[in-house]
Structures are given as structure tokens and as C-alpha cells.
Structure 1
Amino acid sequence: MLLPGEIVVDNFAGGGGASTGMEMGLNRHVDVAINHDPPAIDMHKMNHPETKHYCESVWDVDPVEACAGRPVGLAWFSPDCKHFSKAKGGRPVDKNIRGLAWVTIRWAALVPVRILMLENVEEFMSWGPCVEVSPGKFKPCPERSGETFDAFIKVLTTGLNPEHPAWPEIYDALGDHFPYHMIESGLGYEVEFRTLSACDYGAPTTRKRFFMIARNDGAPIQWPEPTHGPEGSGLQPYRTAADIIDWSIPVKSIFGRKRPLAENTMKRIAKGIQKFVVEAENPFVVPEAANIPFITEHANASSQRNMPADEPLRTICAQVKGGHFAVVTSSMIKLRGSNIGHGTDEPVHTISAGGNHIGELRAFLIKYYGTNYGHAMNEPVQTITTKHRFGLVTILGEDYQIVDIGMRMLEPHELFAAQGFPEGYQISHSSTGKKLSKASQVARCGNAVCPPVAQALVEANIGSNQLNEIAA
């Protein structure tokens, strides 16, 4: 637990993922939140009204002024990760953004901070100097990978030799009036770091991130044990995409759209349906209790009819070949890279801030009595007709025919749920009541720390047992 008078600070606070997790772990609000982005700070204010907010660059906030003489029990840092992430590919990086983590050293040197936690992508451990490849454009130097990260750890712990090549970058980041003797002698923290997967702590996403814990109070650093795992692990089962999907949201057929889907998207859909429905030993079937927004009817030689689920059923005919009303399967599609998606009974893949790229596919099926089911499934799906059948699926020993496929992208509230945000977290409107665009909402979500992971780290290191260990 926190010691008397200590405060909690969230640097790079964003929309509030780390703050939410810390609050759940501490059972109290975060005292100070800092972020340069007005929409992010506005969302943070909506959900954390007791916090003092600074809508400024982290470099413009004076730690001494912000703390007002109070010691910091816990300071959280999530510096911008996009110029470390492998998703950046071979594109140039901004060395100033890569150097944002030095603000951690600024806080630790200027005010009493007992525990530091830092979150970033795994590639943060490769932090090293950049080389200029063309005027004003930089790329990480492959021969010196990890050099700056090594210096960062030395500064936090035992000290950095003035001959270390990272010193020019440190001077550039921290400025002329910083107490550099503290860097030479070291800040005296014990430091450990690991990569953790959010799904292991109850978030329904596989998001994997680097976490660092540093403390100077003599108590041991604790890493939380996973609470969730695969079947047979003895842990609670992983939370999955099915847990966060809002089944009441309609899906639009991939066929007959005014603006046809791109060819590559159709190929992804075909491969995903093949893998997760047609060839799956146990395709994920949408729960019977779900409010599916439309029902597919396929009556003998008549045309297929889709109808809303909240309307009375159409006339039920006798002796209809193929049966009437559908079983519905679901799988996930990922519109990025070469990844086709995953099963709905798995955690959602990593959500990024750069646009919504995760969607849901629903295959609508009826009982199947024919023999011809169409073309190869590694080709784009062809137009559905009553005679040309392209997908045969066996579920619990019963054969079903795919008669339609619907696709939609996940909505922001589903993505926030996938990150592990609590139900009711306010994301759709600003503090003035203005409705936020989906892009703005997704940006806050993709940049967020998964609250359950932050909660687990805080509970492990600032629990009631920690006071006893410190006193001993």
C-alpha cells in the first residue's frame, strides 16, 4: 500500500488505461496525469475527475511543482512506442520520440519516487542510437542495438560512466540545468523487466508488452502470477473475443455491396472461413441467447431471404429442402499484414492506435442435403445462389451449408472491452457532449495500457504485505 502522504503520477496518461488499472489495484484515484493530447486528456478527465490534469508535453511539466512537496509512491511511464515498434517496419524514426523515456530519469532525480513502472513494446530493449540515412531522416543503428537501453538501466541503478556514448543523447534530452552528478553515481534503484501478455491477467487480448519495475525502498520486486491460461492449465480460462462481441450489432453481407470489398479482403475472408469454419473441427457457434440481428431463410428453390431477428418469422413451409432457419458461426478477421485472423474463442489480437483493423465474420448456415458445394475456398467467395453451394460445415455430426457471410469491423466499445477496460468507461463523447469519431476513440484505445495488467503489477508491488517487508 502507499505510505502516508504519497501520491500517484501517470505520465503519458492517454485515455486512462494505466490510471484505471492503478486505481483498481490501489482502490484510490491517481493524483496527477500528464499528456500533451487534448482529446486524450479530455477522456481521462471524464473518467478520472479527481485527478489533477496537465495537458502539456511531459518535458514542460515541472515534477517539483506537480508534486508540491509530496513524495511519489508510484510513478507510471508509458512513453510513445511507435518509433520502437516492429510495426514501424523500415520507415524512418524520430529520435526525439525514441528519447522520451529519459523523462523517467528526470522525475526520479528531481523528486522522491519510491516505485517506478514503465511500459512499452518489446523492442524498447533494442533502444540504441540512430544514424542519419538522408537529410533529417534517421534509422536505428543495427550495430549498436541496445546500447542506449543499457545506459538507461545503469542510470537507474549503479551509475553511468561519463565516457559512455549515450551521454550526448542524455544531455540533449535533459538540458543544461540537470543534476548530472546523480546520473554518474546512479539513482540507486533495483530494476527488473519482463514481457507480459495481457491475456494472462484477464484481458481478452493477446497484447504483449515490455514492463519495467524499479524501486528504491529495499522491498523486493514482485511479478504477478498469471490468473488466466489455456485449457488444462489449472487457471481461469482465457477471456476471448466472444466475451466482448456485441452480438446485437448487425453484420452486412459481403455480397451485393454498392462498394464491393477489395479483392485482398475477399481473399482474407475466404481463407478465414476455410480455416475457422469449413476446416475447423469445432467451429465457434454464436450463442443461442445472442440477439442475432438477422436470420437467413432458404426455402427450396426460392431466393434466399434475410430478415431482422426482432420481427415475426416469415411463413414456415412444409417439407422444405435444406430446412429453414440458420445456425450462425463466427470468426475474427484481421485486415493487416499477412494475418487472416483467429477464432472467436481466442483472445483478440493486439489492438493498435492506427485505425480499426479487427473485424468479425459470421457465416449463416442451414441444414445441407445436397452434394455439390462449389469452388475451392482459397479463392474469393462467389455469388450465392440456391443451387451453387460453396461451403459445407459439419457441426456436432450435422452437415450445414453456408448461405451467406456477413462482416463488420469491431466497434470502439468492443475494442475497449478487449483491452480490459471496465464496463461503462466513457469513450463516445467529449466533456462538452460532442460525439467523438470512431477514429478518435480507437486511437485512445490502441495507445492504452491494458488495465488488468497494470492492476496486477500494482497489487503485487504495493500490496499490504509490502509494508511489512519494508518495516522488516
Structure 2
Amino acid sequence: AIAMHKANHPHTEHYCESVWDVDPVEVVKGRKVGLCWLSPDCKHFSKAKGGKPVDKTIRGLAWVALRWAATVKPRVIILENVEEFKTWGPLKDGKPDPDRKGYTFKSFVKQFRKHGYEIAWKELRACDFGAPTTRKRLFLIARCDGQPITWPDATHGDPQDLNVQLGLKKPYRTAAEVIDWSLECPSIFDRKKPLAENTMRRIARGFQRFVAENPNPFIVRIGQTGFGGDRLQYEINRPLTTITTKAEHLLVTPYLTTYYTETLENEVRGQIVDKPIATIPTANRFGLVTAFLTKYYGQGIGQELVSPIHTIPTKDRFSLVTAFLMKYYGQGTGHILDEPLHTITSGGNKFGLVTVAGINYQITDIGMRMLQPHELFLAQGFPKEFIIDKDYKGRKYPKSAQVARCGNSVPPPFAEALVRANLPEMCVNREMVKYSLQA
């Protein structure tokens, strides 16, 4: 994380050591501190850790905030963590003591007040501030300069919200915005290594929920030089642009499938792409599934659809799905597959029919690929120019490391909104705002 941050912020001082070994007085060198931002390790608070034993040392990292408050007195201290941070309490047999939940957190807050700080906390969602992800985090703001703690107003909202319709807020940014439609989505049927049965079942269930039962599909023009090309969206009931002799239009109803363990037999893990993506973890758990459709009669062509993506993890766990798979017989009578896909024969097309806006389409293929690191970073709210594939010495990062850094990061719109609201005098222009990664 530090190496990636240094590549993007070469003029920042970086300390590759324990936070407890860093002396705030020595670092500050007599200068006044306007802002101290802290993102202590959250994995030993997060519900994603499950029932595994926790590390007392890691859970106690947030106490370093009091050391800075006591020694160099920053005007404003902002601490970011998962919402479960409020349950911080003593351990019992290596696990949080349920009878003393929140005990340590209350003590933590009390110590800030003893040092002369006003303190408040609030849960915020990144999508409300312009990031295409629903990631939710808890923020604590403490300040000792007599100025009020200010929570930024949401700048984005649901497209159906009255404030959005009146133009007072912008609509949520969506997963569709960050998907690179120029990347090929390989067929799920002719892979050297067949997809796992659970993956195929996941695709089938997702097709039913997000495609076959989706009342509002989108049309995306497919360019000549790649899968996506210059992407344009159309409403399904609007005329297409001029159709050339090449098949430049595909009908696609994409969705994202998430690679988390299902707990229910018929559970569907995924989302449509016209909403913000879910929280992104440190392992990529998002997959993109795309079904290529052509009209079931004549020389009809297909089209492609898009929707917003869910929160991005640090591992590849997301898939995009664009149509629901059905098997058909004779004149098109068939059934939806909610079990593993049936055997695909070699004698002609044996896919089913999908009806979109009253028009029948035949599925000619289904593709799936994992979301790539540059898509996940965009979904997290990072700018396109942020360097993610190499460190400050030019050494390349593997994709797994890139995704892990993304899942551990603070969405930049979060940080910008909070700093602008509480320290506007330090934000003369946008370039002065730092995009930080959690170490």
C-alpha cells in the first residue's frame, strides 16, 4: 500500500514501520498540524472476518490517535473504519466479549474529550458522494480549535429521489460507468477448464433474476474495434442508430455475480449494473456475465445492456451476466434453469428464448469474465490517472496485489468531502486534495 501511494505521491514522507515507533513530535518538527487522518486496520472488527480469533494488538491500533492528540494536538483528527468499530470491546478467549461490547470504544471517545477535543461519529456511504460503490464506513471527527464538526451534504442520490429529479443532487454513478466494454467476455461453454458447477448454477439463477425478470434493460452500441468500443446507451423502446452491414449492435442485459459462499439453496448473489457497485473487498469477488442475443426471426441483430456494480472486494469475485439461459424445444417452449446447466449439444443452437420489450431474442452465447483492477479502482472512486500497476521504482504489481490495494483503500470522494467540509481553508483547489491508501 505504501509503495503504491508513493508512486502517486512522491513528495509525501512515508514511514515503513510500526505506527507506535513513529514519534509525532519528530515527524512534525515544530510545525502545526491541521489534519491527522487515521485508517487503522479494520479486519479485526469487520463482520467479514467471521468467527476467527482476533489479534489484540491489531484491534488496539486506533489508540495511536490519542498519542497524536496528546503530543502535537492536530486541529482536526479524522478516523475511518468499518461500522463495527463502535462495538470495540475487551476480548475473551481470543474473541470479542459479547457482554462488554462497545466498552473500549466508549473509553476511546472519553479520552479524546479529556484532551480537549469535541468528537462525533457517523456512518456514510461512498455512493452519496460520487463514488460508484455502496461501500459504507464509520467516520469519527475530533477537533480542538473551537470550530464545529461539519458533516458534508450528500451530492448524489437515487434517480427516483425528488432532489435528484429537481437537479439538487446528481444521480448515483453506476457500475456500468466503470465497466470496460472493450474487453472480451469469453464464452462459458468452450473453456479449456469448464466452470465449476456452483458457478454455472450462480449464472443460471442470476439470469432469471437480473435478465429474464428485468423490466428495464438497456441497449449499448458495440463498436467495431472491440467488445465495447465507444459505448452508447439507448432505452429499449427507442430506435437504434443506423445499422451498418456489420453487426455493431448487441442486445445485452448484463449483471454482476459475486463469488461469495451461498447460504441458501436458491440464494442469488449479484446485482444489476445500473446501480453503484457493492463494497469491494481485498479479493476480487465480482464477475461480469454477458449474453449475446439476436432476434429470433429474420436477420435481426442484438444489443447490449448495462447496470451499476456492487461493492468491490480485494479479490476477483465479480462477474457480469447479461441474459438468462433457457433450453428450448420445437417452437421455443422451454423452462428456466435454476439447477446446473443441461448438456450443451453440438447440433445447432440449443439455447432458449428471451423476450425483451415484447420481442423474442435467441441466446447465441454467454460470456463471463472477472472485473479487472482498473475497473475496480474506478468503481472505488479513484481517478483514471491513479497508478495501480507498478510501484514508485517501476516494479510491476500482479493483479491480485492491485485488487487487494483497492479493497483496502478509502474511496477518495469520502476523504475529499470530509476534508472540504471541515478544513475548507486547506482546500484551495482540487489538486491539493490527497488520495490516500490505507496502510
Taking structure 1 as the reference length, the TM-score comes to 0.74
1:150 and 2:79 equivalent? no
- Are the counterparts in 1 of residues 89 and 103 from structure 2 also a CA contact under 8 Å? yes
- Are the counterparts in 2 of residues 117 and 213 from structure 1 also a CA contact under 8 Å? yes
Alignment-mate amino acid for residue 61 of structure 1? V
- 1:186-225 equivalence runs, <5 A: 186-225=114-153
- 1:49-198 equivalence runs, <5 A: 49-132=10-93, 138-157=94-113, 186-198=114-126
User: Once the 2 structures are TM-superposed, how far is the Cα of residue 381 of structure 1 from its aligned partner?
Assistant: 2.8
1:351 and 2:351 equivalent? no
Aligned partner of 1:280 in structure 2 is 214
Task: Work out the CA distance in 1 between the residues paired with 2:363 and 2:107.
Answer: 58
174, 179, 185: which is aligned to 1:251? 185
- Are the counterparts in 2 of residues 270 and 380 from structure 1 also a CA contact under 8 Å? yes
Alignment-mate amino acid for residue 346 of structure 1? K
Structure 1 pair 371–228 and aligned structure 2 pair: CA distance change class (3 A):
farther
* 1:54 match: secondary structure: coil
Alignment-mate amino acid for residue 181 of structure 2? W
Task: Work out the CA distance in 2 between the residues paired with 1:388 and 1:250.
Answer: 21
254, 259, 262: which is aligned to 1:335? 259
Aligned partner of 2:403 in structure 1 is 442
Structure 1 pair 146–69 and aligned structure 2 pair: CA distance change class (3 A):
same
Aligned partner of 1:181 in structure 2 is none
Aligned partner of 2:340 in structure 1 is 380
Alignment-mate amino acid for residue 89 of structure 1? G
RMSD: 2.4
Structure 1 pair 222–391 and aligned structure 2 pair: CA distance change class (3 A):
farther
- Are the counterparts in 2 of residues 374 and 390 from structure 1 also a CA contact under 8 Å? no
User: Once the 2 structures are TM-superposed, how far is the Cα of residue 213 of structure 1 from its aligned partner?
Assistant: 0.7
- Are the counterparts in 2 of residues 278 and 392 from structure 1 also a CA contact under 8 Å? no
Alignment-mate amino acid for residue 367 of structure 2? G
User: Once the 2 structures are TM-superposed, how far is the Cα of residue 397 of structure 1 from its aligned partner?
Assistant: 2.9
Task: Work out the CA distance in 1 between the residues paired with 2:221 and 2:119.
Answer: 46
Task: Work out the CA distance in 1 between the residues paired with 2:296 and 2:398.
Answer: 43
User: Once the 2 structures are TM-superposed, how far is the Cα of residue 206 of structure 1 from its aligned partner?
Assistant: 0.5
- Are the counterparts in 2 of residues 373 and 390 from structure 1 also a CA contact under 8 Å? no
* 1:101 match: secondary structure: helix
Structure 1 pair 389–279 and aligned structure 2 pair: CA distance change class (3 A):
farther
Aligned partner of 1:160 in structure 2 is none
* 1:205 match: secondary structure: coil
* 2:19 match: secondary structure: coil
Give aligned pairs, total.
Answer: 370
Identity of aligned residues (%): 56
Structure 1 pair 291–78 and aligned structure 2 pair: CA distance change class (3 A):
farther
- Are the counterparts in 2 of residues 284 and 331 from structure 1 also a CA contact under 8 Å? no
User: Once the 2 structures are TM-superposed, how far is the Cα of residue 74 of structure 1 from its aligned partner?
Assistant: 0.3
Aligned partner of 1:26 in structure 2 is none
User: Once the 2 structures are TM-superposed, how far is the Cα of residue 390 of structure 1 from its aligned partner?
Assistant: 4.1
- Are the counterparts in 2 of residues 247 and 291 from structure 1 also a CA contact under 8 Å? no
- Are the counterparts in 2 of residues 334 and 340 from structure 1 also a CA contact under 8 Å? yes
Q: Deviations over 1:330-378 (max 9, x none)?
A: 111111133521001111111011x211111111101124742544221
- Are the counterparts in 2 of residues 428 and 435 from structure 1 also a CA contact under 8 Å? yes
User: Once the 2 structures are TM-superposed, how far is the Cα of residue 443 of structure 1 from its aligned partner?
Assistant: 1.1
User: Once the 2 structures are TM-superposed, how far is the Cα of residue 288 of structure 1 from its aligned partner?
Assistant: 4.4
1:262 and 2:196 equivalent? yes
- Are the counterparts in 2 of residues 374 and 388 from structure 1 also a CA contact under 8 Å? no
- Are the counterparts in 2 of residues 199 and 238 from structure 1 also a CA contact under 8 Å? yes
Task: Work out the CA distance in 1 between the residues paired with 2:186 and 2:333.
Answer: 23
* 1:149 match: secondary structure: helix
User: Once the 2 structures are TM-superposed, how far is the Cα of residue 290 of structure 1 from its aligned partner?
Assistant: 8.7
- Are the counterparts in 2 of residues 277 and 284 from structure 1 also a CA contact under 8 Å? no
Structure 1 moving runs of 4+ over 3 Å: 284-292, 384-391
Aligned partner of 1:30 in structure 2 is none
Alignment-mate amino acid for residue 259 of structure 2? L
Structure 1 pair 462–426 and aligned structure 2 pair: CA distance change class (3 A):
same
Residue segments in structure 1 that go unaligned for 5+ positions in a row: 1-39, 133-137, 158-185, 296-311, 317-323, 467-472
* 1:75 match: secondary structure: strand
* 1:53 match: secondary structure: coil
Q: Deviations over 1:97-154 (max 9, x none)?
A: 111100111111111211000100010000000111xxxxx11011111000010000
- Are the counterparts in 2 of residues 201 and 456 from structure 1 also a CA contact under 8 Å? yes
Aligned partner of 1:458 in structure 2 is 419
Aligned partner of 1:241 in structure 2 is 175
Aligned partner of 2:436 in structure 1 is none
Alignment-mate amino acid for residue 336 of structure 2? A
* 1:72 match: secondary structure: coil
Please, which moves more after superposition, 73-82 or 225-234?
225-234
Taking structure 2 as the reference length, the TM-score comes to 0.79
User: Once the 2 structures are TM-superposed, how far is the Cα of residue 289 of structure 1 from its aligned partner?
Assistant: 5.3
Task: Work out the CA distance in 2 between the residues paired with 1:124 and 1:131.
Answer: 17
- Are the counterparts in 2 of residues 358 and 410 from structure 1 also a CA contact under 8 Å? yes
Please, which moves more after superposition, 95-104 or 392-401?
392-401
* 2:379 match: secondary structure: helix
* 1:248 match: secondary structure: coil
- Are the counterparts in 2 of residues 42 and 431 from structure 1 also a CA contact under 8 Å? yes
User: Once the 2 structures are TM-superposed, how far is the Cα of residue 441 of structure 1 from its aligned partner?
Assistant: 0.6
* 1:194 match: secondary structure: strand
User: Once the 2 structures are TM-superposed, how far is the Cα of residue 464 of structure 1 from its aligned partner?
Assistant: 4.1
Task: Work out the CA distance in 1 between the residues paired with 2:27 and 2:154.
Answer: 35
Residue segments in structure 2 that go unaligned for 5+ positions in a row: 230-243, 263-267, 298-329, 428-439
User: Once the 2 structures are TM-superposed, how far is the Cα of residue 387 of structure 1 from its aligned partner?
Assistant: 5.7
- Are the counterparts in 2 of residues 373 and 389 from structure 1 also a CA contact under 8 Å? no
